[in-house]
């Protein structure tokens, strides 16, 4: 388990009545509060009086945070450089505390303060608990108490000069844990519950080296990472952000090729509660790993179809042309390709698939440069021409793709979406090779139902380029991912668990070089050891792979898996509602999953509100309704009615409109959820929809935290466990924060610390009753 990555907290330990803010890779405890004069009142009839001193919270700021970790054969060496800034006008002094997680195997710990090596004292877990408890008592903030039971390193920090920076460097090595074949690396970056301020500049780099085995799957469920492979035995992972809100720990998994293992890696991670009726969640990671330099890429057939109608005039057509040229220039020597531009009619470059020779590519680029935006939008003709092109020379040994790009709705030929889809399906039915049609919708005037149904029928995906996004960047980035297929026509079988169900994606896409596939699903435990079979075609030949994996009856680790599965499930259900119609059971399942796992978007919000209204959940305990985090009370009835109406309007637009800003943003957000490979997908989907929803003066807002399998909703200043929302028929046990009884209870029930450390006011369901903690 990884040493906590960033937990810098400024605690003012004298006469504090509220929590201070936090940043960093340790905890700085300031010994004295900052006292400043109270300004005199500004009233002409009040006599002047001496200013009274008041105490003010002036937390240290984290100017920059750099983390570099080198992992060799499961041993990680981490270097941390952190720069603090004291914004106050006073010199401060304090103690730097660095909690050590349970189970961490620390081989070496070094610390530098402003360039000087400093000896840090190791305090055992028993003495450390008293330090944590004292901080909680004096600061009236339970956040730090989650580290009770853990050892710590501590060192004196003096002086912390006014308006000056303080640099701290830490170096340590540890042995990383293993889950099956996956090695797990954790660096704690989650300080949101301590602080509302982002870290100025974050830079995180992880280099993985293997002396003998090939590095296969490399996966982060927590963050969108940059990954570069340098051969088969070295991988570099990067993450850089400015003004980053630290609300998620950095989590990384990687696997090594076993002796006599196949070139395609398959690794399994599971999460299962102790309740056998609840079942478990699993995640499969498929990766081809690195590609041998001497091996030629598998040749493919591809047709690029792009819109050159009058609505593309201006920046859109120029960006689309640059994207097309990038794709052409990135073709492999043995690929065959064609380009079709369409407006009032479709026009191909060659009239057939041609080999991607330098001469052909040069001709294609010249054609693209000559295109001008003018005329109508003949979508049906363009798609049928592309289908005819691939069907003439289709071969089972060559993956076949059509990349279709448009910014509008059909105006020439067939304009009904069902007619176009049926015509395309008939054309592709007799093609020897399975054809994937990838669609790009540009802007907000596209028919999302048409594009999404095309990709649904051809087992591909739709991408939407929003007005604020760059066409060239988005298309080029996507093509780079799918340009070199490795394994096509994939199918997975799992034998061992009693039942395996609700697997996403439902139809597996192709596996591409340098990429990896994440498959999520549910299972009912059976035999612990299962056999996973993978079948697919490589260069037209069917290949079979077999793997052994553990599907545990109980495994409380990998707690991110249920939420990631639920994110995909919600994405699929929303697509069903949007494309094929609303059904009661679909709405209810979306509401339950969205509330339980905190997947709140403008489209799920209304379903949650509607569901809680129907079940008569008390207003004060509903999961959505605070005007803002920390508000003293839930929404009043008038505001609630107004915002509920707005949420219903967004939901109704989402399920009925096919074109326009809300429709396109809804389709784009749904695609992100449905294809989520990490927890960052939820934030990405919210970002897509919130840019439009932010126009409203008031919004339905909610703040959720998922802690060790429990989802908490913030209502006013109270954190309510989702299992404790309905307290009308539950037994309730009262507990007063900060009392002797409070600390005795946590010593007796250490598993409760992780939940009660959310705040001073928490309701949590525990052992058949609701524990109600209040300040």
452 by Cβ neighbours in 10 Å (0-12 / 13-18 / 19+) ranks as: buried
15 pLDDT above the threshold of 50 = no
- pLDDT the model gives residue 24: 35
Higher pLDDT, 28 or 409: 409
35 pLDDT above the threshold of 80 = no
Q: Average of pLDDT values for 220-235?
A: 90
Q: Average of pLDDT values for 189-211?
A: 77
* Listed ranges 22-26, 188-192, 402-406, 692-696; the one with the highest mean pLDDT: 402-406
607 close to 587: Cβ distance less than 8 angstroms: yes
pLDDT band at 395 (very low <50, low <70, confident <90, very high): low
329 pLDDT above the threshold of 90 = yes
Q: Average of pLDDT values for 322-326?
A: 94
* Listed ranges 181-195, 301-315, 591-605; the one with the highest mean pLDDT: 301-315
- pLDDT the model gives residue 543: 87
How much is the pTM?
Answer: 0.82
pLDDT in tens, 717-748: 899 998 888 788 789 999 999 899 998 998 89
- Six-digit token pair at 728? 């009308």
What CA–CA distances, in Å, run from 453 to 411, 578, 671?
19, 11, 12
* The residue to which tokens 């339950």 are assigned: 592
- pLDDT the model gives residue 139: 64
* The residue to which tokens 């598993």 are assigned: 751
201 by Cβ neighbours in 10 Å (0-12 / 13-18 / 19+) ranks as: middle
* Listed ranges 126-135, 329-338, 649-658; the one with the highest mean pLDDT: 329-338
pLDDT band at 46 (very low <50, low <70, confident <90, very high): very low
Residue 476's H or E segment, with its range, is: helix 471-482
50 pLDDT above the threshold of 70 = no
- pLDDT the model gives residue 34: 43
CB atoms within 10 A of CB 93: 14
Q: Average of pLDDT values for 61-69?
A: 86
Distance CA 626, CA 346 (A): 53
Bond into 159 cis (ω within 30): yes
pLDDT band at 386 (very low <50, low <70, confident <90, very high): very high
Higher pLDDT, 174 or 658: 658
């Amino acid at each position: 388990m990884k040493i906590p990555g960033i937990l810098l907290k400024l605690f003012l330990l004298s006469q504090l009545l509220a929590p201070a803010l936090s940043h960093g890779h340790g905890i700085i405890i300031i010994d004295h509060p900052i006292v400043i004069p109270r300004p005199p009142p500004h009233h002409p009839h009040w006599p002047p009086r001496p200013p009274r001193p008041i105490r003010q919270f002036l937390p240290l700021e984290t100017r920059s945070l750099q983390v570099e970790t080198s992992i060799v054969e499961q041993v990680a060496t981490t270097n941390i450089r952190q720069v603090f800034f004291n914004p106050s006008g006073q010199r401060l002094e304090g103690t730097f505390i660095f909690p050590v997680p349970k189970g961490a195997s620390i081989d070496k710990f070094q610390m530098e303060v402003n360039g000087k090596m400093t000896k840090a004292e190791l305090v055992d877990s028993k003495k450390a608990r008293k330090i944590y408890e004292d901080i909680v008592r004096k600061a009236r903030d339970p956040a730090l108490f989650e580290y009770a039971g853990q050892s710590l390193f501590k060192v004196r920090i003096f002086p912390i000069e006014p308006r000056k920076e303080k640099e701290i460097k830490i170096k340590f090595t540890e042995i990383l844990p293993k889950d099956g074949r996956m090695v797990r690396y954790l660096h704690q970056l989650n300080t949101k519950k301590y602080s509302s301020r982002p870290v100025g500049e974050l830079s995180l780099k992880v280099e993985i080296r293997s002396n003998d085995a090939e590095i296969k799957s490399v996966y982060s469920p927590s963050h969108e990472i940059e990954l570069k492979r340098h051969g088969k035995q070295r991988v570099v992972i990067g993450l850089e952000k400015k003004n980053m809100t630290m609300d998620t720990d950095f989590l990384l998994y990687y696997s090594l090729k076993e002796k006599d293992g196949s070139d395609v890696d398959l690794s399994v991670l599971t999460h299962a509660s102790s309740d056998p009726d609840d079942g478990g969640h699993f995640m499969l990671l498929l990766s081809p790993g690195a590609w041998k330099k001497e091996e030629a890429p598998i040749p493919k057939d591809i047709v690029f179809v792009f819109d050159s109608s009058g609505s593309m005039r201006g920046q859109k057509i120029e960006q689309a042309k640059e994207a097309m040229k990038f794709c052409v220039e990135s073709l492999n020597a043995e690929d065959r390709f064609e380009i079709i531009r369409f407006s009032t009619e479709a026009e191909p470059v060659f009239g057939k698939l041609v080999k991607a020779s330098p001469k052909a590519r040069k001709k294609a680029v010249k054609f693209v440069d000559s295109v001008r935006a003018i005329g109508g939008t003949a979508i049906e003709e363009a798609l049928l021409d592309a289908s005819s092109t691939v069907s003439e020379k289709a071969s089972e040994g060559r993956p076949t793709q059509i990349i279709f790009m448009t910014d509008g709705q059909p105006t020439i030929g067939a304009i009904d979406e069902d007619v176009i889809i049926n015509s395309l399906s008939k054309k592709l039915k007799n093609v020897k090779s399975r054809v994937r049609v990838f669609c790009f919708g540009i802007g907000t005037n596209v028919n999302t139902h048409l594009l999404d149904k095309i990709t649904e029928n051809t087992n591909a995906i739709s991408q939407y380029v929003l007005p604020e996004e760059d066409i060239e960047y988005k298309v080029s980035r996507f093509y780079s991912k799918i340009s070199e297929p490795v394994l096509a026509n994939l199918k997975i079988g799992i034998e061992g668990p009693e039942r395996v169900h609700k697997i996403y994606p439902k139809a597996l896409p192709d596996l591409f070089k340098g990429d990896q596939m994440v498959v999520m699903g549910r299972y009912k435990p059976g035999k612990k050891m299962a056999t996973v079979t993978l079948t697919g075609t490589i260069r037209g030949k069917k290949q079979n792979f077999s793997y052994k994996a553990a599907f545990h009856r109980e495994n409380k680790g990998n707690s991110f898996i249920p939420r990631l599965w639920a994110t995909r499930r919600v994405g699929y259900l929303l697509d069903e509602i949007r494309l094929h119609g609303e059904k009661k059971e679909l709405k209810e399942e979306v509401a339950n999953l969205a509330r339980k796992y905190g997947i709140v978007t403008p489209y799920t919000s209304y379903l949650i509100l509607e569901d809680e209204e129907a079940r008569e959940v008390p207003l004060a305990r509903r999961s959505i309704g605070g005007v803002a985090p920390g508000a003293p009370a839930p929404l009043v009835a008038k505001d609630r009615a107004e915002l509920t109406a707005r949420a219903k309007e967004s939901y109704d637009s989402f399920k009925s409109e096919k074109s326009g800003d809300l429709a396109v943003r809804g389709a784009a957000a749904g695609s992100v959820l449905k294809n989520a490979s990490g927890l960052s997908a939820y934030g990405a989907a919210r970002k897509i929809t919130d840019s439009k929803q932010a126009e409203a003066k008031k919004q339905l807002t909610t703040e959720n935290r998922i802690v060790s399998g429990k989802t908490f909703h913030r209502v006013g200043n109270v954190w309510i466990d989702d299992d404790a929302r309905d307290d009308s028929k539950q037994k309730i046990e009262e507990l007063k924060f900060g009392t002797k009884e409070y600390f005795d209870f946590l010593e007796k029930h250490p598993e409760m610390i992780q939940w009660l450390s959310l705040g001073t006011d928490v309701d949590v369901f525990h052992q058949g009753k609701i524990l109600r903690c209040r300040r």
